[in-house]
Amino acid sequence: MSDDSHHEDHHEGGTEGRVTSPMQDYTTGQVARGAVVLVVGLLLTFGIGFAL
């Protein structure tokens, strides 16, 4: 790589307000909604396949 493509990713002030998804807690409602989406997706994927 050339010297032109090198850049520093240092930021002043830190990351106090930044939160990424793996650090956040999931609520029971969010887990239930995900489970419902999973079940519907599986039913559509395999249900239609077996029906045909």
Q: What is the pLDDT of residues 1-47, one digit of tens each?
A: 555 665 555 555 566 777 676 667 889 999 999 999 999 999 999 99
Counting DSSP H helices and E strands in the chain, the numbers are 2, 0
- Which pLDDT does position 12 carry in this prediction? 58
Helix (H) or strand (E) holding 32: helix 28-42
Q: Which tokens in the block code for residue 48?
A: 């239609």
52 or 2, higher pLDDT: 52
Read off the pTM: 0.52
- Which pLDDT does position 15 carry in this prediction? 62
CA neighbor of 34 nearest in space, from 46, 26, 44: 26
- Which pLDDT does position 28 carry in this prediction? 93
